[in-house]
Amino acid sequence: MLKYKLLLLTALVSAQVAFAQQKPLTTNTGAPVGNNQNSKTAGENGPVLLEDVHLIEKLAAFDRERIPERVVHARGAGAYGEFESYGDFSSYTKASLFRAKGKKTPLFVRFSTVVHQQGSPETLRDPRGFAIKFYTDQGNYDLVGNNLPVFFIRDAIKFPDMVHAFKPSPVYNAQDQNRVFDFFSHIPEATNMFTYLYTNLGTPANYRQMDGFGVHAFKWVNAQGEVVYVKYKWTSQQGVKSLTAAEASAIQAKNHQHATADLYDEINKGNFPAWELSVQMIKPEDLDKFDFNPLDPTKIWPEAVAPSLKIGKMVLNRMPDNFFEEVEQAAFSPGTLVPGIEPSEDRLLQGRVFSYFDTQRYRLGGNFQRLPVNAPKVEVNSYNQNGVLSNRGTKSNVNYQPSVTQAVTDNAQYEYSTRTINAETMQRAISKTNNFAQAGELYRSLAESDKKHLVSNLAGDLGQVANKEVLNKMVSYFYQADADFGNRLIKTLKLNQKEVTSIVASAR
């Protein structure tokens, strides 16, 4: 029996060698390569010749294997799957993926950490990106969000500064909590997000066992032009599982890519992860009825204000064949929309609609939407042309519109919604900031063990802040959210009476 197996193995190896010999190595232009082991030289000990085209091509391709990493969301993992609609929601939106019960739409998902660079441990405290690209029959739709329901800031003008504060110092190239909290001591609106982030939700156990949120409000528009504002939530059907600081440290010591490995392993075993999608809705005429601004991304919409409606389910069932081509080159933008879905007036979202497209054009070139992972499944009929790596294959002499020779026309049913605005231009903060109430409600909703973890996690980073003015200001924000929250931080940080007096005074 052993002899038979050895003979079979030998035959298989011989067949593989023979097959390989039938497929010679070629250059990028398809020309056969004569020698891939030795460079062409001027004599045995002479210099290497520039005319060795294969050598130059091979080195040049290698030199360009890396593209600029994402400024944020640099580390990620992705998977393919499909979305199935639970019903016909055309009374709210003309987006086709939500217009029929049982309608299935293919999709690609990229999970990611936010602040840290490629190759960083997936155990670090950080929001997790949760981005979905739906390949709908009306074109692509990107729903780009996080695993936490709110964000740090409410205006895109603060975004570059926020990211700079989180990123390594431009002097000593290391991340520094002094820089982070120096910035955020001027940003009280971040209190709600920090309260979420420093719970154990800030260190998800893996990508499968976390929820996802669109964070921003969007507009749904139906065929009659009627508008409703919506917020999205993805609820993990695997449940939500987080790591304590101690658990995260233990995992990081053994495996810095545990979340990616978990996602790949489970899908390959046939344990396909799933999430239900739900939306909350608010009518335009009701936007001013609350003690907060519903378009403020630092706020949630309480269920009592806007009950959730389940609209569908996503299942991930296939891993990418090539990480770089599919996961790394996957490009998302909240501006990738389909008819029936539009941006709200959320100031942060308005900036992201520009910024995400712009950064993808920088990273991948002007034709990034032609890459297979980003390309829609429907025909593209556009007069955009040329640019790096253009492969549009256009043949017509007419690359403009309108033209009498080509009947490409507008379609009124896909026009944007309309809104009457009678306002002055301005640069002012929103009127209903209400920076602390929801953070306090979140704190009071936590179990005692979760409160202890929150205070311990937060104090661990605040304790690194050397500037007492910055430290006291940050603690005062959490004190304003909830006095018990603030007092526990004061005790854990061992602040003196003078500092306590300053904190309490700041909170009045």
Residues that constitute the known binding site for heme: 356
Catalytic member of 54, 116, 140, 146? 146
Residues 6 or more apart whose CB falls under 8 angstroms from that of 287 comprise: 229, 293, 294, 295
**Tokens 């609106």 label which residue?**
189
- Marked catalytic residue, from 73, 216, 258, 453: 73
The alpha carbon dihedral of 30, 34, 37, 40 has a sign of negative
Q: Where are the beta strands (DSSP E) in 86-226?
A: 104-113, 128-136, 139-146, 212-213, 218-221
Q: Is the dihedral of CA 453, 456, 459, 461 positive or negative?
A: negative
**Residue 105 CB burial class (10 angstroms; 0-12, 13-18, ≥19):** buried
Q: Decide if 381 is catalytic.
A: no
Instruction: Compute the distance between CA of residue 144 and CA of residue 115 in angstroms, rounded to an integer.
Output: 16
Task: Please indicate whether residue 73 is annotated as part of the active site.
Answer: yes
3-state secondary structure of 270: coil
Query: 323 is written with which tokens?
Result: 């990480």
Burial 246-263 (b: 16+ CB within 10 A, else e): eebeebbeeebebbbebb
AA identity, residue 218: F
Give the span between the Cα atoms of 303 and 466, in whole angstroms. 40
| Enzyme catalytic residues | 73, 146
